[in-house]
Amino acid sequence: MTKSGKTEGCLVLLRHGTTAWAKQNRFAGWADAPLSKSGTEEAARAAKALASRHFSFDAAYTSQLSRARQTLQILRQGVGHEAIPEPRCDWHLNERHYGALQGENRAKAALAYGNEQLTAWRRDYRARPPKLAPEDPRHPCHDPLYADIDPALLPDSESLEDAALRVLPFWEQDLAPHLGAGDCLLVVAHTASIRGLVRRIEGLSDAETEAFRIATCVPLIYRFDAEMAVLSKKEVTSGLTSQVRRLLNKHKSGKISWV
């Protein structure tokens, strides 16, 4: 797909690659968990899938978190810097903030709080994990990345709903106008922020939003007409590994025991 002869908008949503913290079964949230070796390989396969379809983007966006930015840089190396412009980083695209659970091992958290409570915090649309105290060094108000953001806007914990609402201004102000004009956009982000975008695009119910899953580094492609009606939706995989990851992701249970 090229930038010339624009007739419809195109949005590619991509979740970052697997992180080292995922291997350690830890809640990442807004913490900077780097990609694992398998995560960098996933990103390279995603780049191959996009390059084989001749994508060329008018703009690229990612979150402030290193795992998403690193994934996007691997994409740029694989697809070409001329095809993917220098990205804009925006905190609205960050993962959901897990509050006091951030950085904790999930199995230990299940022992401390119980499976039922932990599952509610992870999966129920309006359930918030325990908040971080303002003086906690993990609170984003202490992170130089957010020094120019009003501290009152920075979360100390978020539900799925909070994260979905957070991304709406970004959709309305940054993505929708360009898509309506026929641009091709790339967003490399996280499950929670992508969930919020998909909820807005598809008009998902609360239950459908809770059930939303997206595999790491499997591009999700939407095409829009000038009135922002969805013309098509497609996931793109490259090789057997990506296909298996996509299928496993779709069959995940919504109720998970970490003990």
Is the residue at 255 inside a domain?
no
Block mean pLDDT (10 aa), the chain, length 259 = 68 97 94 95 96 96 98 97 96 98 96 96 96 96 96 97 97 97 97 98 96 96 96 81 46 34
Query: Residues near 78 by Cβ (< 8 Å), separated by ≥ 6?
Result: 43, 44, 46, 47, 48, 50, 51
C-alpha triplet 68, 249, 122: angle, nearest 5°: 70
Distance from C-alpha of 170 to C-alpha of 13, rounded to nearest angstrom: 14
Do 179 and 201 form a contact (C-beta atoms < 8 A)? no
Is the residue at 139 inside a domain?
yes
Distance from C-alpha of 13 to C-alpha of 221, rounded to nearest angstrom: 6
Annotated catalytic residue within 95, 97, 139, 161: 95
Q: What is the pLDDT of residue 198?
A: 98
Q: What is the pLDDT of residue 256?
A: 28
Residue 204 — φ and ψ, nearest 5°? -70, 145
What are 51's two structure tokens?
A: 């390059």
Is the residue at 88 inside a domain?
yes
Is the residue at 83 inside a domain?
yes
Distance from C-alpha of 87 to C-alpha of 81, rounded to nearest angstrom: 10
Is the residue at 75 inside a domain?
yes
Question: Is 251 among the residues known to form the active site?
Answer: no
Is the residue at 69 inside a domain?
yes
CATH code of the domain containing 227: 3.40.50.1240
Domain of residue 30, residue span: 9-244
DSSP annotation string for 150-190: -GGGS-SS--HHHHHHHHHHHIIIIIHHHHHTT-EEEEEE-
Number of structural domains the chain divides into: 1
Q: What is the pLDDT of residue 6?
A: 66
Question: Is 54 among the residues known to form the active site?
Answer: no
Give the alpha-carbon dihedral of 2, 76, 234, 8, to 10 degrees.
-30
Is the residue at 254 inside a domain?
no
For residue 89, list its beta bridge partners: 62
Residue 232 — φ and ψ, nearest 5°? -160, 160
Is the residue at 251 inside a domain?
no
